[in-house]
Amino acid sequence: MVKNRRFEDEPAYGLGVRHWQTFLFFFALTVAYAQRVNLSVAIVAMTDAEAANPNFPEYDWAEKTKSLILSSFFWGYVITQVPSGQLARKFGGKITLLVGLSVCSVLNLLTPVFADWGSWQLVCALRVMEGLCQGVVFPSIHTLISAWVPPNERPVLGTCAYAGNQFGTIIMLATSGLLASSSIGWPSIFYISGGVGCVWSVFFYIWGASSPAEYKKISVEERKMIEMAQASECVSEQPKENLHTPWLSFFTSPAFLALIVAHSANNWGFWTLLTEIPSYMKNVLGKDIKSNALLSALPYFAMFCMSFVFSGIASQLNKRNCISTVTSRKLFNSIGLWVPMCALIGLAYVSAEQSNLAVVLLTITVGFNGACYLGFQINHIDLSPNFAGILMGITNCVGNIMSIIAPLLVGFIVTNEHDVEQWRVVFFIAAAIYLVGNGLFIIFGRASVQSWNDPPAKPRRNSTPQVESQH
């Protein structure tokens, strides 16, 4: 008994296989987000060749058409969210993540060809297919983190993994403008991001694993430490695949409904800014495509750095038992949504001549949003380690409906890209959604394992001892 408590309560020092897996998750999200946001900058060059390299094709797409193309990724993305959580539980997070990202990487390589063959309609169709592939990413990553990372390490290692979102965004936004203006032109944006994804797929196929039990070279001590720490969260002794999915309990849980709202609010603001910052920089602040790309990446570089700052603070608060887990989740979620809310309100009143102030406020808006990795982002695992992937699939599905609506709404509101008044409306809407979303999370959010995490096992049709022994 004493030995078990040592594994459960004391952290394992030094780097282990779980850290290597976290590193692979980080690069999976780097690849996913690089492929997801590459079009945000590329579309500026694709529709204005003179601003980048006139030797490459230019397409005459209206603002509403561009908004349609930018949102089309999410049409496919929301469809595969919930099924992906179930598939990750059944086949393992490695399989679903590997298949989804490898296929998406190949599709990225085909983007310039599709644009040449069928203009915006074919590009839209391609982005829908990419969305279908990437719908597996977050449910798979959540399932993998739940399997690999002990509860006391989730704030730090979870943040390290999800920092890949920002790293991919930074790399793509910072380099896309330079690539588009170079001799290899805007098609290289898709060739490079797709090629890197193919390389990652090979590495993950060789070294990735769905759980410690499937990784042959893990030490006995590390595997036992992970499994014992996770066993403390579960009451049921049934294997996870035998547990009945309590769908009704999910949607009647105030804590989970508040999580859906918080995730949706975050996605609205995040994707409004991510898809529209390049256009805002070019048309309102008057930045050329090279400086536009670098300045567009700056807020996400701030978010990348701040996520580690907040992770360090959370780790210290955890070690000293200063605040409870639920207070920590609500505190960091408030920092991640309400500080950006204030910055967005300020941004709404910045004039076109105050471009430096606008960049500072955008950096604050996105940078402080990194605190959400310690708020709603890992709350799914708090509520239900057994069904974390499915819960992430549900909240990400609903949240990314916001990702579809937000760019489309911008396209309807901003009919004149140079009109500061129209952009002001966009920022006000995002600020209001941040206010309401985090308010409900503060009131109803929880961070304890819910009773429905351990439902009764699924009944078997044939439960003879012989059949059971074969399963």
- Beta bridge partners, 243, equal 457
CA distance 48 to 42: 10
Q: Give yes or no: residues 30 and 167 share one domain.
A: yes
Last residue of a domain, one of 174, 197, 231: 231
Please tell me the total number of residues recorded for the chain in this structure.
Answer: 471
Q: Give yes or no: residues 293 and 212 share one domain.
A: no
Q: Give yes or no: residues 262 and 370 share one domain.
A: yes
Is residue 10 situated within a structural domain?
no
Q: Give yes or no: residues 117 and 188 share one domain.
A: yes
CA distances to 80, 116, 172, 188, 189 from 178, rounded to whole Å, are: 34, 22, 10, 10, 10
Q: Give yes or no: residues 206 and 287 share one domain.
A: no
Q: Give yes or no: residues 360 and 410 share one domain.
A: yes
Q: Note down the domain range covering 211.
A: 17-231
- The burial class, CB within 10 Å (0-12 / 13-18 / 19+), for 108 is buried
What is the token pair recorded at 72? 């089309």
Q: How many domains does the chain divide into?
A: 2
CATH of the domain at 39: 1.20.1250.20
Is residue 466 situated within a structural domain?
no
Q: Give yes or no: residues 293 and 217 share one domain.
A: no
Is residue 401 situated within a structural domain?
yes
Q: Give yes or no: residues 223 and 272 share one domain.
A: no
Per-residue pLDDT of the chain (471 residues; tens, 9 = 90+): 333 333 334 444 468 999 999 999 999 999 999 999 899 879 988 998 887 888 999 999 887 888 889 889 988 998 999 999 999 989 999 999 999 999 999 999 999 999 998 779 999 999 999 999 999 999 999 999 999 999 888 888 999 999 999 999 899 988 888 899 889 999 999 999 999 999 999 999 999 999 999 998 999 999 999 988 877 766 555 556 567 899 999 999 999 999 999 999 999 998 888 778 777 877 888 876 667 777 878 888 999 999 999 999 998 888 888 899 999 999 999 999 999 999 999 988 888 788 889 889 999 999 999 999 999 999 999 999 999 999 999 999 999 888 788 878 888 898 888 888 999 999 999 999 999 999 999 999 999 999 999 887 655 544 433 333 333
Question: In 10 A of CB 20, how many CB atoms?
Answer: 17
Q: Give yes or no: residues 219 and 276 share one domain.
A: no
Is residue 471 situated within a structural domain?
no
pTM (predicted TM-score): 0.82
Q: Give yes or no: residues 220 and 270 share one domain.
A: no
Q: Give yes or no: residues 264 and 211 share one domain.
A: no
Selection from 392, 5, 4, 456 nearest residue 235 by Cα: 456
Selection from 158, 135, 159 nearest residue 385 by Cα: 158
Q: Give yes or no: residues 221 and 83 share one domain.
A: yes
| Cβ neighbours of residue 38 closer than 8 Å, sequence gap 6 or more | 108, 172, 176, 189, 190, 193
